[in-house]
Amino acid sequence: MEILGIVTAASPNVRVWVASRRPLVAEGEVGLEARGARNFRARLAIILVAVGCALALPAGVARAEGTSDFKLFPVPFVSTDPNAGVTYGLILAFLETRDARTRSITAPSVSYSDIFGVTGTFRHFYYPQGDEKITTYASYGTGSEQAYYLEYKNPSVLNRTYSLEGQAGYRRLITQRFFGIGPGSTSDDETAYTREEVGGTAGVGVYLADDLRAVLQGRLRKVYVLSSPLDLPAPEDLFPETPGLDGDLVGGTKLSLIWDSRDSIDIPSGGLYGIAGLEIGSRNLVGDVSFQRFELEGRAFLSGASHRYVTAVRVLGQYVVGSDIPFFELSRLGGSSELRGFGEDRFADHGKILLQLEERIRFYDLTLFDVFTQLEVAPFLDVGKVFDTHDPFWAEMRPVGGVGIRLLVPPNVVAAVDIGYGSDGSAIFANLGYPF
């Protein structure tokens, strides 16, 4: 087994919130019903991980009988997420290849932050054939942050006649923020809560042309809004009339037209991706909320013959119609893939627009232990806002500038660190995969 490594950097300009002694759930809140729900979610998490391992086991046995090649990539990382503070960690990425093709990536990690404590995470990505992908993810932190999910994607079933996708999971996120609704929220509006949710999606698509398919998807999501360990006001303290403060059950059916001519899903250097979608939820069918969500998105990837310089462009628009929509179901901006100088869900309203530009410059190629690797730098600009129908279009537009530093192991692996700066300050996000 061979060992490779990369090192990422951090910024000292970051806010770190100190945990308070306020209980995550108010005394008396946990009755028989709450305990039963929590036991159900715990059992679901175990089932999801077990199913993921069961799906990977036959493939692993078959690969063990073949001639697979394994490499180990230690990936130290540091991130300064505005919501989560400074996090230090190490990912051990085991890359399995056969016949010059990635068969699987196993990437356990351990990390530490003052808020989350010590967190252990297991990731497994299995690529049976073509673009088919099975993802198993499990994470548990001593600060009670945890997440478990299983995901399946196959855009080419029966020789690109159909597509299939689905995900089921459970998450407990203890550093969620809410700044109120509207584009003009300030740091004085900051509140914190714990979002606990269980749910999933399932979709099937039919190809109408070589690169065009229609997809019908169902979604079910149960959200619990609980108190946060952070020493910040709760959403109900500053925004007591906001819908969704007690949590909700949300169900929706979505119909989309998707155009996808990218030359690669994970590391694209050419082609187009576009989606036009409408999601409808009705409390008369399932859930507590009725709404209609309209979505338009386009991505373009342009490069020369060498693919040394890749211009990546993304344009996104979304609008949600309905009354008493929970705040966590509104259109939101902020985080590692949208407005990368702000924390996750920094802005929320009925609509959002976003423009992202990146120039991905693959400036250095090297072969490490017989593995072709590329180093990439990517200056970027994100500009976007949330809005309601009465807002002037250009008012409260939020620009973010920054640079991404990436290590690529074609055709599937991207280790990315994005450093962004916006009006709230700077942020550093470390991820596996491109932001778009």
Residue boundaries of the structural domains of the chain = 2-432
Stretches in the chain below the pLDDT threshold 50? 1-34, 58-59, 61-63
pLDDT of residue 109: 96
pLDDT of residue 100: 74
Q: Which residues contact 68 (CB under 8 A, 6 or more apart)?
A: 96, 97, 98, 103
pTM for the model stands at 0.83
φ and ψ at residue 394, rounded to 5 degrees: -90, -5
pLDDT of residue 375: 95
Q: How far apart are CA 282 and CA 275, in angstroms?
A: 23
C-alpha dihedral, 329 to 143 to 190 to 427, nearest 10°:
-90
Written as one letter, the residue type at 328 is: F
pLDDT of residue 316: 97
CATH 2.30.29.30 fits 2-432, yes or no: no
Beta pairing class for 309-321 and 371-387:
unpaired
pLDDT tens-digit map of 297-309:
999 999 998 899 9
C-alpha dihedral, 176 to 85 to 403 to 339, nearest 10°:
20
pLDDT of residue 370: 66
Q: How far apart are CA 139 and CA 145, in angstroms?
A: 8
pLDDT of residue 57: 52
pLDDT of residue 46: 56
